[in-house]
Amino acid sequence: GESLPRDVDPGDDVVSGCINQSGLLKVRVTKVFGESTVAKILDLVENSSSKKARAENFITRFARYYTPVVVIGAVLLAVLPPLLFGGDWSDWLQRALIFLVISCPCALVISVPLSFFGGIGGASKQGILVKGSNYLEALAKTETVVFDKTGTLTKGVFEVVGVHHNTMEEKKILEYAALAESFSSHPISRSLKTAYGKEIDQKRVTDVEEISGNGVTAKVDGISVAVGNTKLMKRIGVEAVECHQVGTVIHVAIDGAYAGHILISDVLKPTSKEAIVNLKKNGIKETVMLTGDIDKVAQQVAGELGVDRVYSELLPADKVSKEEELLAKKTEK
């Protein structure tokens, strides 16, 4: 649930399903499978898919009694009049078949589930996953909409969103940073290389040193370049300028002097703000965002999009608990 990778140290908890981006990890399993995060997610999905709408459940129960009654009625209509009143067998059989066709519950029984299937199918074409017809039915009375953040309101990918306090051209700083990080496969390195946008000539780079938890130092065209966090800047004796925006800040020092910093963050989807505005226009009273990301990042995203309430640093199971709290507080109708 985090949009940025995090570092782990000996003794830290690692949630099952996480992906190790770099380095070697030795992980001790402390919970049985049934108590693991992945198992809890699977259980939530399985339970949600079994829920049907109230109207669908009613029509299913109704058909259980209505169908045999109609069939038995048709049989009696075909048999009893000829036996009791001496009517023509073929005439009463035809009447029984007409009665069966007219009273057939197919249209009635199929129409309700089919309308839900149509709604779910139409939503899926728009990229909306509805896990059961009961959720589709509930939309008519919805007052609160709860969103996940990463990959839902945001793109869920790293992008360079700005270069600040730079003492040289932005393109030049990105070039130095991308070349210095060219030998790394870290997501931040990939973002820098993408932002640079040109083919990288690694022959221009020498004396590369990756300092764990700090960043990278290298020589680009014979010029000393340091790319990393504030710890790296302190290490090489350069005073870093803090960023006023939220995200991952990559400081760059060139030839022993501070050259500026690059801001990398998870980018908002272009349709998110419009979607929230339209929801409120259509009667939604409150929007809520649940995220595993840190509070500082979550609050900034919520502020930019106009989300009413934010809950951050949540595990998947915590998100479900928080949603159940919100359901318990909903207006009774």
Phi, psi angle pair for 16, to nearest 5°: -60, 140
Half-sphere exposure of 64 (CA within 13 A, CB side): 6
Among residues 235, 233, 217, which one has the least CA distance to residue 225?
217
Rounded distance between C-alpha atoms, residue 180 and residue 172, angstroms: 12
Residue 164 near residue 308, CB atoms below 8 Å: no
In DSSP terms, 223 is beta-bridged to 220
Between vectors from CA 27 to CA 25 and to CA 28, what angle results, nearest 5°?
Answer: 160
Between helices 170-180 and 187-196, what is the axis angle to 10°? 140
9 catalytic, yes or no?
Answer: no
User: In this structure, how many other beta carbons lie within 10 angstroms of the beta carbon of residue 22?
Assistant: 13
User: In 170-285, at which residue ranges do the beta strands (DSSP E only) sit?
Assistant: 205-211, 215-220, 223-228, 248-254, 257-268
Alpha carbons 209 and 181: distance in angstroms, whole number: 10
Say which of 9, 12, 43, 148 is annotated catalytic: 148
- The secondary element (H helix, E strand) that includes residue 309 is strand 309-311
Residues with a catalytic annotation lie at: 148
